[in-house]
Chains A and B, each alone.
Chain A
Amino acid sequence: MGPSGAGKSTLLNILGLLDQANSGSYQLQGEAVENLRERKRQELHKKHMGFVFQAYYLIDDLTVYENIETPLIYRKVKKAERQAKVAETLDRFNIVAKKDLFPHQLSGGQQQLVGIARAIVAQPKLLLADEPTGNLHSSQGEVIMDLFKKLHREGMTIIQVTHNEKYAHYGSRIIELQDGFIRKDVALQTPASTYSKQPQV
């Protein structure tokens, strides 16, 4: 959490290996990421991470099914397996009926559902969400947060950037940032956390 310009998204991007830190060190699975080659970093990103954005960022030209399928293609998953995984995900998110629609035919909440489905279809260990509910009204937001809770319970680490105090409390730990520094780091009592890394900014 934190005000605009605090560095939340930047931190998230660094964690997600989309950006690099100017200074400091980022240990991922015991390796200093900044010492890795670009290719290796991409690989880690591809293997372990899923992204959810405030503006959903679905690919306009692709159907719901194809949007969800895309990460699997990039991970060179075989066709039959791809079909199985996408079908399973569609089923789980209750959007089987929408699979042949294009993003502009969906409501914002539905689009974000697809965005999350796409982010987790390749079964990442870490889900990074940048204000996932920012563009949604509250009932839609709660659906998303319940989903996150469920995913977390199944063992996925989720880092969420948010302005919303209520949604922040769905998590097990809240870090407040201001001007690039950690102002507050609170661990909540809910399920045992499974942090595998300690970011330093």
Chain B
Amino acid sequence: MLKNNLKIAFRALSKNKVYTFVTFFGLTVGVAAALLIFRMLSYELSYNKSFENHDRMVRVVSEQTLPQEGESYTVCVPIPAMDVIMDEVPQFEKITRVKEFWVTTSLPDPNGGPPLKKFNMETDQTAFFTEPAFFDIFQPEWIIGGPAEILSEPGVIILTESFASKFYDDPAQAMGQTLVLDNVVEVEVKGIIKDFHDQTDFPVPFLSSWETMKAHRNYFFYDENMGSCSSNNQLFGLLKSQDQLEEANTVLAGISEKLYRRENQNSFRKHVLQPMSALHFDERYGHSGTHRTSMSRLRILGIVGILILIMACFNFINLATAQASLRAKEVGVRKTLGSSKRQLISQFLTETALIVFGALIFGLVLASLCLPLLQRISHVPEGINLFSDPQVWLFLGGLSILVTLLAGLYPSLVLSRFKPIRALRNQVPGNLSGGVALRKSLVVLQFVVAQGLVIGAIITLLQLDYIRSRDLGFSDDLVYTFGIGIDSSTLEKQLPLKQAFLEIPTVEKVSFNSDQPLSGNTWSSNFRYDTRPEDEQFSINLKFADTDYRETFGLSLVAGQWYEKSDTVRQCVVNETLLRKLGVERAQDAVGKSLRLGASRKVEITGVVEDFHTHSLHQEHDPLMITTRKAYYWEAGAKIRPGNIQGTLSAMQKAFDEILPEQVFEGRFLDENIAEFYADEDRLATTCKAFGLLAILISCLGLFGLAAHSAQQRVKEIGVRKVLGASTTGIVGLLSRDFLKLVLIALLVAAPLAWFLMQRWLDNFAYRIDIQWWVFVVTGGLAVLVAFLTISYQSLRAAMANPVDSLRNE
């Protein structure tokens, strides 16, 4: 029976080439899209799952309520609070402190020369100062060395295999060697561990001990003050059991009450547990991995994938039911020959299964070819292979059954239900009339999805364009930024380095500072303005920079002048937003006044700088103060002249290596840094574009099938009309009108839906475009045009046919 079914199915499919191609092609594309989305989702969802205890692992985080700024969420826990939590929460089996840090690691020359080897950490990597319990919780695997207790001593480092192999071909050789961190801290390699799994939020190149950090407390800004909370200081724990999360939160709430409530009436900090399973998906908190992904984003992607697959199935249903009338005779004959309904259903399902099977294989191939696209729209790394992934095969297996039933069941039910005599006489429209409405609604649905995605793509692209073309308030043209050490000997060499750079004729200006104008870092402080008696109800943002900051980054002053040279905080400039928030109307009035940060001494305001963007365009301007403080200048920017950029950079490299041989000269241009802030939006736009086009393609295939069916159904009507004198154009119009109506109905549904969703997305931006009406008109116009082209083939063919032929069929 099966063999027979297969044979018949194969013949039937090869006979209806157009039908087979359209369904097959649509399904292939749908399967490829679904497969890519599945791979992306499975990639993100498996984050942090490689930790054996991941279901019991938690991070202690802070929810802070501020009177004016509302809720804020950070991962920091003040050091004294850590001590209390470590002692007083019985639900923890293990708990460990972690301090994130970023250093240059060098292998010193035993003869006192420049270091033999030196490496910066890679972008996105984060090293940890931590304690022995870290090994109980994260369970890194030892290659050599151990036990975990070595993390209770100062001056130790544990390298991951890959980091150790940067120094030695055989990582084991690193054991017992002394390395230097940032030219300041000497550490001995006491162990080598396996690399952390790629799909974790912990891209850790090496671990050092908490005691090592404490031995250099000033250098690493170790602060035991209750009021100090750095997001680098984190607390990770292992619960005794997964179910104790709520209990532990209750205990933590009590502890928070005790620790913070009385201290400050206005703001209140509360510690809660963040389960490891949520860490990758909670965008409220900082993170140390390459990226986070919000669950809503994954959900949307999943829905898009399912929709596209369903759309492809719709095509199948559409075309198959359209074909039904052609196959009615066959059904009738088979029934009179004694076929049961079940046998007919299984025959038609075999046909479906055959197409589905082929589409799955081709879809898999197509998806593999599209992997580079996947890397553009997601974080899935290069070099993944779909064919060797058992999950993919499992997914395909499930998909084949699902799609066969979804796409094949309805048409085969319709076909098998035909009454034999009627079927033989081709009297089937009665049976199919319900199907017409169904098919039309399926096409409308397809176009809703397609047009919705296109509208989304247009709006994201417009917003991105707006972001890119917006004046940031500073110049990001040809400024090369790089990091630099802040140990005392480097700080002394900053000035000689600047002079050496300026001797290169193509280097215009060099500035040392704590942050670029637009950066992800936020420093803030409470403050008091001029002679006002109390601190303001909002905090002020800080940047520390030397006097060349203004010209390097092209900032403009609206009043006063830039501050004078100083190594400590003496004078400052502020931005216009600060004055607005303070209620100072004329910028000139602020010049000469003073600010007081926290409890420190007064700082004179020498000038007011025009507002520039300190954060991505998601955020409003913040009140800002720029001042001097040499000890914080760990970044530098060099404005260079156009022309021989490579030559300029290598001249800078040479000067750098001469003056700071133990450090690594590594940086990026400012505009690259800024582009990174919008990488997510860029991905979203590409996603919408890709899937929007796909959805249109699939919808048109559906429309094509429907048009073909309708033209066939109305062949006699067209013949009669032509005999009565209708023109070809008149008939094309007649046939097209109905379908174009469907596309427009779909637009009416898609437009408000997309408008609402995109409005919500745009609300994420403090600076955003307004959605223009023409977006919808363009989308609708595009859809109608594409739809018309799709149908016109069928309509023209029907309209130009000789009426005698179509009428003779009677």
Contacts A18-B336, A70-B334, A74-B340; is A61 near B8 (CB within 8 Å)?
yes
CB distance from B229 to the nearest CB of A (A): 76
Contacting pair B334 A59 (CB below 8 A): yes
Residue of A at shortest CB range from B1? Answer: A73
Q: Size of chain B's interface in residues, with CB distance under 8 A?
A: 22
Contact of A73 among B4, B330, B333, B335 (CB under 8 A): B4
Interface string of B487-511 (1 = CB under 8 A from A): 0000000000000000000000000
Contacting pair A61 B337 (CB below 8 A): no
The CA of A61 and the CA of B15, in the complex, are separated in Å by 8
CB distance from B346 to the nearest CB of A (A): 12
CB distance from A173 to the nearest CB of B (A): 24
The CA of A74 and the CA of B334, in the complex, are separated in Å by 9
Interface string of A4-18 (1 = CB under 8 A from B): 000000000100101
Contacting pair B330 A59 (CB below 8 A): yes
B11 interface contact, C-beta 8 A: yes
The CA of A57 and the CA of B332, in the complex, are separated in Å by 9
Contacting pair A46 B15 (CB below 8 A): no
Contacts A57-B333, A57-B424; is A46 near B12 (CB within 8 Å)?
no
What residues of chain B lie closer than 8 Å to A70, measured between beta carbons? 334, 337, 339
B338 interface contact, C-beta 8 A: yes
The CA of A42 and the CA of B343, in the complex, are separated in Å by 13
CB distance from B16 to the nearest CB of A (A): 10
What residues of chain B lie closer than 8 Å to A42, measured between beta carbons? 338, 340
A49-65 interface with B by 8 A CB criterion: 51, 53, 57-62
Contacts A18-B421, A73-B1, A74-B343; is A61 near B338 (CB within 8 Å)?
no
What residues of chain B lie closer than 8 Å to A16, measured between beta carbons? 336
Contacting pair A118 B337 (CB below 8 A): yes
A30-53 interface with B by 8 A CB criterion: 42, 45-46, 51, 53
What residues of chain A lie closer than 8 Å to B329, measured between beta carbons? 57
What residues of chain A lie closer than 8 Å to B205, measured between beta carbons? none
Contacting pair A61 B12 (CB below 8 A): yes
CB distance from B513 to the nearest CB of A (A): 78
CB distance from A18 to the nearest CB of B (A): 5
CB distance from A178 to the nearest CB of B (A): 22
The CA of A51 and the CA of B336, in the complex, are separated in Å by 7
The CA of A70 and the CA of B330, in the complex, are separated in Å by 12
B485 interface contact, C-beta 8 A: no
Interface string of B1-20 (1 = CB under 8 A from A): 10010001001100100000
Contacting pair A19 B334 (CB below 8 A): no
Contacts A61-B11, A61-B15, A73-B1; is A19 near B421 (CB within 8 Å)?
yes
Contacting pair A59 B333 (CB below 8 A): yes
What residues of chain A lie closer than 8 Å to B336, measured between beta carbons? 16, 18, 51, 57
B413-450 interface with A by 8 A CB criterion: 419-421, 424
CB distance from B299 to the nearest CB of A (A): 45
What residues of chain B lie closer than 8 Å to A108, measured between beta carbons? none
Contacting pair A75 B421 (CB below 8 A): no
Contacting pair B337 A71 (CB below 8 A): yes
What residues of chain B lie closer than 8 Å to A122, measured between beta carbons? 338
The CA of A18 and the CA of B332, in the complex, are separated in Å by 10
The CA of A13 and the CA of B419, in the complex, are separated in Å by 12
CB distance from B403 to the nearest CB of A (A): 24
Contacting pair A53 B424 (CB below 8 A): yes
Residue of A at shortest CB range from B11? Answer: A61
Contact of A45 among B12, B332, B338 (CB under 8 A): B338
The CA of A16 and the CA of B336, in the complex, are separated in Å by 9
What residues of chain B lie closer than 8 Å to A45, measured between beta carbons? 338
The CA of A122 and the CA of B156, in the complex, are separated in Å by 89
What residues of chain A lie closer than 8 Å to B4, measured between beta carbons? 73
Interface string of A109-134 (1 = CB under 8 A from B): 00000000010001000000000000
The CA of A73 and the CA of B2, in the complex, are separated in Å by 11
Instruction: Name the residue in A42, A45, A59, A71 with the highest tally of chain B Cβ atoms < 10 Å from its Cβ.
Output: A59
CB distance from A25 to the nearest CB of B (A): 21
A residues contacting B by CB (< 8 A) are 13, 16, 18-19, 42, 45-46, 51, 53, 57-62, 70-71, 73-75, 118, 122
Task: List the 4 closest pairs (A to B, CB-CB), nearest first.
Answer: A46-B338, A74-B338, A61-B11, A57-B333
Cross-chain pairs A/B with CB under 8 angstroms, 25 sampled: A18-B336, A18-B419, A18-B421, A19-B421, A45-B338, A51-B337, A53-B424, A57-B329, A57-B332, A57-B336, A58-B333, A59-B330, A59-B334, A60-B15, A61-B8, A61-B330, A62-B8, A62-B11, A70-B339, A71-B338, A73-B1, A73-B4, A74-B337, A74-B338, A74-B339
B residues contacting A by CB (< 8 A) are 1, 4, 8, 11-12, 15, 329-330, 332-340, 343, 419-421, 424
11 A-B pairs besides A57-B332, A61-B12, A70-B339 with CB distance below 8 A are: A18-B420, A45-B338, A46-B338, A57-B329, A57-B424, A61-B8, A61-B15, A71-B338, A73-B1, A74-B338, A74-B339
